[in-house]
Homo-oligomer: A and B are copies of this chain.
Amino acid sequence: MTLGVASAGRRVAPTIRQVAALAGVSRATASRAINGGHLVSPQARAAVEAAVAELGFTPNPVARSLATRRTGSVALVLPEPNTRVLTDPFFASTINGMARALEHTDLQLVLLIARQDGWSTRTVRYLTTGHVDGAVVASHHRDDRLNRELVESGLPCVFIGRPLDVPATARYVDTDNDHAAQLATEHLIGLGRTRIGTIAGPADMSAAIDRLSGWRAAMGAAGLAQDAVELADFTVEGGGAAMARLIEAHPDLDAVFVASDLMASGAVGELSDRGVRVPEDVAVFGFDDLGVATTTTPALSTMGQPIEDMATRAGQILHALLAGEEVEEISVMFPARLVLRESA
């Protein structure tokens, strides 16, 4: 090995000039031999490869980026003001799915967590100034300028979940939340429950809006009252508190559709603390089918949503976009499915 050693003990990487010199060719030929190897004679190519091996040459990614105007990395943006972003397994699945999509590509995953409210501008700037080639964005709040600015900047991006306040050209993957919520509620109705409440998500998020609307549709169709509604913030604690409010305002409740498993787990805990039996007294139905659904007692019946697959698909679409492939669909919808356990 002829690796040089700098003062700090840090290896100093060989450049393509040294490779070219050692191989007895020009830098251009060395470069061609390294990238693809087209238009290079076999002997030149062999010489370059030998030199590369001997020197342990690796192209400097930064220099390459400067020349190609590509960074080779994409961002996964999680715009959550919440301090505890990742305690929500939804994000874990999202990250996992993206990582899987990028696994066999030459794209690197850069994680962007935009916790603070004012950060969307900083995030947008980061994304639109050449740090990354594209972005996947999850979790959308209305009035968050992030999404629109991103789309308008022209940066290739794909959303997980239908984005709000965005040009219709924005690509996204999603489940039909409205329909899924409807199915869930109909299941509760089919169980013979008639006093069915709901714990919805934040009023400024598309998934929450759509699920509440699905619940309303089913309740309306069955001629049932739609007054037992409480909003919460997609957390366990929030779900518990909402359940408390709900049961106190409507003591005759016999079922509740909750817009996420995390909140449902809080709701189940609250009910059990109050000595209310699940599902005998009150049936509880969740959404997501994340790990929590099986750890509660009783285990949650829920609408299963293939979050990881959705994130993977988003990553693949972005990859295709960056590869210059034509992607026809604007939106890709994933099916949700009824997962029946003990709670409803």
Could you tell me which A residues sit within 8 Å of B by CB distance?
Answer: 8-11, 13, 58-63, 65-66, 71, 73, 84-87, 89, 91-93, 95-96, 99, 103, 108-113, 115-116, 125-126, 128-131, 153-155, 236, 265, 291-292, 295-297
Query: A10-B153, A63-B66, A265-B295 are known contacts; what are 4 more A-B pairs with Cβ within 8 Å?
Result: A58-B125, A86-B96, A89-B92, A109-B110
B129 engages A60 (CB within 8 Å)? yes
A135 to chain B, nearest CB (A): 13
CA of A295 to CA of B264, assembled, Å:
12
User: Chain A contact residues: over half helix, strand or loop, or mixed?
Assistant: mixed
Q: How far is the CA of A103 from the CA of B126 in the complex (A)?
A: 13
- Is the CB–CB distance between A95 and B111 below 8 Å? yes
Quick one: closest B residue to A60, CB to CB?
B130
Question: Which chain B positions have C-beta within 8 A of A155?
Answer: 10
- Contacts A92-B87, A92-B92, A295-B292 hold; do A73 and B11 have CB atoms under 8 A apart? no
Do A96 and B111 form a contact, CB below 8 Å, given A61-B130, A61-B131, A130-B13?
no
Question: A59 to chain B: which residues have CB within 8 Å?
Answer: 129
CA distance A111 to B10 in the complex (A): 23
Please judge, given known A-B contacts A95-B111, A109-B111, A131-B108, whether A62 and B71 are in contact too, CB under 8 Å: yes
- Which B residues are CB-close (under 8 A) to A71? 62
Q: In the complex, how many angstroms separate the beta carbon of A151 from the nearest chain B beta carbon?
A: 11
Q: List 19 A-B contacts (CB under 8 A).
A: A11-B154, A58-B125, A59-B129, A61-B129, A62-B62, A63-B66, A66-B66, A84-B96, A87-B89, A99-B111, A99-B115, A103-B115, A103-B116, A108-B112, A109-B111, A110-B111, A236-B295, A265-B295, A295-B296
Q: How far is the CB of A134 from chain B (nearest CB, A)?
A: 12
CB neighbours (8 Å) of A96 from chain B are 84-87
CB distance from A260 to the nearest CB of B (A): 14
Asked whether A8 and B61 contact (CB < 8 A) given A85-B96, A113-B99, the answer is no
A11 touches B153 (CB 8 A): yes
Neighbour of A111 across the interface among B60, B93, B111, B297, CB < 8 A: B111
**A312 to B: closest C-beta gap in Å:** 12
Chain B residue contacts of A65, Cβ below 8 A? 62
Cα of A85 to Cα of B100 in the assembled complex, Å? 11
Q: Which residues of chain B are near A128, meaning CB under 8 Å?
A: 11
Minimum CB–CB distance from A126 to chain B (whole Å) comes to 7
What chain B residues lie within 8 Å of A297 (beta carbons)? 297
CA distance A233 to B82 in the complex (A): 31
CB distance from A199 to the nearest CB of B (A): 17
> Which residues from B are CB-within-8-Å of A73?
110
A304 to B84 Cα, complex, angstroms? 18
Docked complex Cα distance between A218 and B135 (Å): 51
